[in-house]
Amino acid sequence: MPKTKLFIDVSPLVDPYPSGIAHSIAGLAGELSKISTNRQYDVVLLVPRKNADRLKRWPDLAKLKQRRYPFRTRVLNLLNKHNLLPPMDIFFGKGVYLFGNFKNWPLTGLSRSLTFVHDICFALFPEFVQPKNQRMLIEQVPKYIKRTNKVITVSETSKKEITDYYKIPGMSVGVVYNGVDSTLYKKHSKKSIDALKKKLGITGNYFIFLGNIEPRKNLKVLIDAFSELPNDLKDTTSLVIIGSDGWLNDNVLKAMDIAKKNGVTIVRPSGYVEDEDVSILLAGSVALVQPSFHEGFSMPPVEALATGTQVLASKIPVHKEILGNRAQYFNPTSKRELSRLLEENLAGSSRKEVSDSFLDRYSWSSSAEVLLEYIDEVKELKKIKYVISKEGKL
């Protein structure tokens, strides 16, 4: 019996600075390639024509079968936006198509697809999203949902938000948790930590933040809370910020400058920090602080827990779902509450233990097994048709 082609769009993997979504696609694609052989699937990666050589940064994936886009990415996106893109399985062939980053392509009735919608912050909190990108997502995501066989999201919290907002049945949305690469995110030696601290100019204790500097990450409350620590603690503790500039962040950058002028030590490495160094930085920190207003899953806290580091997280539904009692929680609007928690962790009076079973739950192999069940399911499905309202809802 011939194998079914499983086409995976890996376009985010060739971006100059891979995002969390890129790491998600890489983790799932790698595991799917391992386990799909016994399930009668033949994995093929769909790669943009430009910068395809960047796939080499993912050595395991670079070895897999690849097909290049028939159009340049800019042309493809333009055709897709204006509903002029032809069914893409005309070029690549019949199969199951996996789209990991909100967008998908039209297909003939011979093929099936699954599309990841990681969160709908753009709909629930439009003030946190770049206006141009927010308008595009509000307009386009209903179309992407309508023409896919299965929506995949990354938490039960996100699933409820999607089904409630778009008024679609729960059975049309599957949940696949993100995973953590346990060969990368692990405990590290003091020698490795001290060497990297010296390289980056970090002295003494430090807290760490990972993520784009964008409104929903709520970084300003962390800067303000850190600035309120007693002077003796601030003198011996740093705040390390790892992430790109993001958007709508003037107030955060201003708060950072003011804090530095007031003697607060903030270390923000220039350029892209490799995953290996991020893992070491996590392992050496007093705690990772995740003050977000909204997340679809939130990978950094789970990565931090895998390195043996404490997590201080905002008290939002998805953090409670994913982290349970393994994190210490605070009100994301209260700098005073967070500052008290920072002080307690510097004193070593608040610690949470993490079991191996918790980390096993968030492995890419476990997630790929769940995803493969959904892939098996869509092979037998007919297209689910929805009606899109003038408001952009389904």
Residues 174, 205 within the same domain: no
Here the tokens at position 174 are 């599957």
The residue among 257, 228, 259 whose CA lies nearest residue 343 is: 228
Helix (H, G, I), strand (E, B), or coil: what is residue 147? coil
Residue 108, judged by CB atoms within 10 A of its CB (0-12, 13-18, 19+), counts as: exposed
Contact 155, 133 (CB under 8 A): no
Residues 251, 141 within the same domain: no
User: Residue 16 sits in which domain range?
Assistant: 4-179+364-378
Residues 106, 223 within the same domain: no
Indicate whether 185 belongs to any domain.
no
pLDDT of residue 328: 96
In this structure, what are the phi and psi dihedrals at residue 340, rounded to the nearest 5 degrees? Answer: -65, -40
Here the tokens at position 15 are 């971006």
User: Residue for token digits 């689910």?
Assistant: 384
Residue 151: CA count within 13 A, CB half-sphere? 32
Indicate whether 162 belongs to any domain.
yes
Indicate whether 390 belongs to any domain.
no
Residues 206, 121 within the same domain: no
Distance CA 160, CA 311 (A): 25
Residues 159, 83 within the same domain: yes
Indicate whether 384 belongs to any domain.
no
Residues 241, 288 within the same domain: yes
Distance CA 387, CA 49 (A): 34
Indicate whether 75 belongs to any domain.
yes
Residues 368, 354 within the same domain: no
Distance CA 65, CA 44 (A): 5
Contact 358, 327 (CB under 8 A): no
How many separate domains does the chain show?
2
Residues 298, 159 within the same domain: no
The residue among 266, 275, 281, 279 whose CA lies nearest residue 196 is: 281
DSSP 219-280: HHHHHHHHHTS-HHHHTTEEEEEES---SS-HHHHHHHHHHHHTT--EE--SSPPPHHHHHH
Indicate whether 257 belongs to any domain.
yes
Residues 351, 336 within the same domain: yes
> SS3 helix, strand, coil % of the chain, rounded to 5?
45, 15, 40
Indicate whether 142 belongs to any domain.
yes
Indicate whether 388 belongs to any domain.
no
Residue positions counted in the chain: 394
For residue 5, the 8-state DSSP code is E
- Which CATH number does the domain housing residue 207 bear? 3.40.50.2000
Q: Model-level pTM?
A: 0.92
Residues 277, 256 within the same domain: yes
Helix (H, G, I), strand (E, B), or coil: what is residue 65? strand
Residues 205, 142 within the same domain: no
Q: Taken in order 155, 157, 158, 162, is the CA torsion positive or negative? A: positive
Residues 372, 317 within the same domain: no
First to last CA, the chain: 38
Q: What is the pLDDT along the chain (394 residues), one digit of tens a residue?
A: 788 999 999 999 998 888 889 999 999 999 999 988 777 899 999 999 888 899 999 998 999 999 999 999 899 989 988 899 999 999 999 999 999 999 999 999 999 999 999 999 999 999 999 999 999 999 999 999 999 999 999 999 999 999 999 999 999 999 999 999 989 999 999 999 999 999 999 999 999 999 999 999 999 999 999 999 999 999 999 999 998 888 888 999 999 999 999 999 999 998 889 999 999 999 999 999 999 999 999 999 999 999 999 999 999 999 999 999 999 999 999 999 999 999 999 998 666 666 667 888 899 999 999 999 999 999 877 654 444 444 455 5
